[in-house]
Amino acid sequence: MLKRILILLAAVFLIFIFTGSSFALNIIEKNENQIFEIQLLENSSTGYIWDLEIEDEKIVRLIDVNKRSLKKADQRLAGAPDIKTWTFEAKNKGVVELNFNLQRMGSPENREKELNYLIAVDIPVIRLSENSVEKISLFEKPNSGYKWHLSANEDFLRILKTDYMQIEKNDSIVDTSPRVKNWYISKKKNGYTIIEFKLYRRWEQSNIKARKLFLITAEQ
């Protein structure tokens, strides 16, 4: 006989799972204004229900929550389980955590299980594995004075090197001709981080012409 509850994750989309420094994350990529769902099995007759915490509702908004009973429940379970569905809207560009906690009703501190989702809205995701190296490339025009500058958490990420690929093969203007700047990165530890590239002139760093964000995830 099962002691408490059989927990199943009903996936309505393809997700990528990895183990971070302290818990498992499900990485979900969405576009702005896209509607998506997360479904979990819940059996409230056991005294435990799923509770949701949204890190930032400006990025992802909860639209609806509903339950649907299963037609054929396993007779070994205490009572008939339900499929609980949360419907979300990806509102704005960014990254946000959705934390689901299976907790005893009336005792939120008594948690049985935790599921964590990382939602990337209109932000590219780069997945690093052990010993892998990834390249990020951005176009710039040095003769304009604007160059890309990287801000990253170096406790998590290792910047191996940077180099350039010239667009125009003219030795007389090699320092000012359009070029592609490359960054080669690898992981230091498991987890995730957001890196930001800013395009600005060195003498007016507060005047940022463009920004590029990337979500970097790492697994073993």
Residue 172 pLDDT > 90: no
Query: Which two structure tokens, joined as six digits, stand for 205?
Result: 């760093």
Question: Averaged over 144-151, what is the pLDDT?
Answer: 92
- Counting beta carbons within 10 angstroms of the beta carbon of residue 188, is it exposed (0 to 12), middle (13 to 18) or buried (19 or more)? middle
The reported pTM is 0.73
Polymer length in residues for the chain? 220
Q: Residue 1: its pLDDT value, please? A: 35
Scored b (16 or more CB within 10 A) or e, 115-141 reads bbbbbbbbbebebbeeeeebebebebe
83 against 105, higher pLDDT: 83
pLDDT confidence bin for 168, thresholds 50/70/90 = low
The answer as to CATH 3.65.10.10 being correct for domain 9-121 is: no
Give CA–CA dist 164/140, Å, rounded: 10
The tokens for 29 are 């990529």
- Do 9-121 and 125-218 fold alike per CATH? yes
120 and 27 in contact (C-beta within 8 Å)? Answer: yes
pLDDT for 108 equals 64
Q: How many CA atoms does the CB half-sphere of 134 hold within 13 Å? A: 16
Predicted confidence at residue 78, as pLDDT, reads 52
Q: Supply angle C-alpha 164, 170, 175, rounded to 5.
A: 45
What is the spatial order of strands in the sheet that 60-69 belongs to? 9-10, 35-42, 82-90, 60-69
The amino acid at residue 212 is K
Q: Write out pLDDT tens, residues 34-56.
A: 999 999 998 877 888 899 999 89
Give the pLDDT band (50/70/90) at residue 2: very low
Q: What is the pLDDT of residues 177-196, one digit of tens each?
A: 789 999 999 998 888 899 99
Q: What is the mean pLDDT of the chain?
A: 81
pLDDT at residue 20, as a whole number? 34
Q: Where are the domains of the chain?
A: 9-121, 125-218
Q: What is the mean pLDDT of residues 14-40?
A: 70
CATH number, domain 125-218, options 2.160.10.10, 2.60.40.2020, 3.40.640.10, 1.10.10.10? 2.60.40.2020
Per residue in 108-143, pLDDT (tens digit) is 666 678 899 999 999 999 999 888 999 999 999 888
Nearest Cα to Cα of residue 209 among 131, 148, 168: 148
List, for residues 58-103, the tens digit of each pLDDT value.
999 999 999 988 766 455 555 667 899 999 999 999 999 999 999 8
Q: Which two tokens stand for residue 150?
A: 């990287």
